[in-house]
Amino acid sequence: MGRASGRVHKAARSWPISELCKAGDIQLIKGRPDQEINSVTSIIAAVSGALVLITHKKYIAEIKAVSGLVCLTSAELAEELQKELIEPVILVASRPRAAFGRVLALMFAPSSHVGGISDLADIHPDAKIDPTARVDAFAVIGADCIIGAGCQIGAHTVLAENVSLGAHCQIGAHNVLSNLHCGEGVKTDAHCVIGKRGFGFDGQGADLQILPHLGQVVLGKGCDIGAGVTIDRGALDDTIIGDYVMIDNQCHIAHNVVIADNVIILGQAGIAGSVAIGKNSIIGGQVGIGDHIHIGDNVVIASKSGVTKDIEKAGSYAGFPAMPAREFWVQMASARRKTTSSKS
């Protein structure tokens, strides 16, 4: 399999290293603080004068021939980089990836936010929109909606009814939002549907009775919601997502789920109704969690696992049904040995 092609990303202006260090909580180990840079690359596209993130010594061999790289790395790798590279600039941070993110956010910040409502937007007369908010073309803002200072509403997005957005929320294009309360700084990508009726019913076929939903969705401050995410409103109580929760693309959160602060949910995970997830937990991609299950704090569930019962103890879990990860891998190794033995 061939390698991905690399790209050099150029910022709109040049930035002194001293300014980037201040923004990223970075220490300059080798180089001049007044040197300016305007480009960022991956390792495979590294060019002289560009900023590159180095997180493992295995990458050093790939960039040894490039002189004058601006390397952002850890203290553990800094000395080796100075020895192996040709005239590098060495920047060190305690969390290099986080520092790299802060630097990129500064160098490639979007153009300044300008408030205003597009003439092509449809605004209900009862909606309350802060004058510093921006509403793009073909957006629809319904009754009883409140849009806070500095918010941005993408094109073709619908705030159907009873939506409240705290300051500086960024709602992507083609969202459909209703029965939703957002804290400050919430971000959603395109094509999210949040606050619609959950999958509540009784019976089947001709005897089917759909259960109306009266609750809301509450998103805490700083939540980051990926593209195509669906979050159902609560049946009677609310569906609650805590502060700084990060939800990847194409996940589904059912009615009455309660997710504590700082949880990370990876792509295509499905969480059934009335699940509770404790703070700082990580739910892997394509994980399925059955209804009314409680997951404690600091739990990590491996991708494609199925959770069928409560997990209270912190730690890593894997498999279907999910079990402590060490136990799962022991079982897998044992099954592999039996398969190999039966073939011999």
Domain locations along the chain = 8-107, 179-326
CATH of domain 179-326: 2.160.10.10
- Span 222-232, pLDDT tens digits: 999 999 999 99
Q: How far is CA 199 from the centre of its chain?
A: 25
Separation CA 250–CA 176 (nearest Å): 15
Distance in angstroms (rounded) separating the CA atoms of residues 6 and 43: 8
Active-site hit among 124, 174, 255, 292: 255
Three-state helix/strand/coil letters over 25-61? CCEEEECCCCCEEEEEECHHHCCCCCEEECCCHHHHH
Convert the pLDDT of each residue in 40-85 to its tens digit: 999 999 999 999 999 999 999 999 999 999 999 999 999 999 999 9
- Say what the pTM is: 0.89
The Cα–Cα gap between 23 and 47 comes to 23
| CA–CA dist 284, 115 (Å, integer) | 38
**Residue 111 confidence class, pLDDT cut points 50, 70, 90:** confident
Same fold flag, 8-107 and 179-326: no
- Calculate the average pLDDT of the chain: 94
For 216, phi then psi, to 5°, come to -120, 180
Q: Which residues contact 145 (CB under 8 A, 6 or more apart)?
A: 124, 127, 128, 159, 161, 162, 163, 164
CATH architecture assignment, domain 8-107: 3-Layer(aba) Sandwich (3.40)
Kindly indicate the confidence band of residue 4, based on its pLDDT and cuts at 50, 70 and 90.
low
Active site (annotated) includes residue 255: yes
Is pLDDT at 123 greater than 70 in this prediction? yes
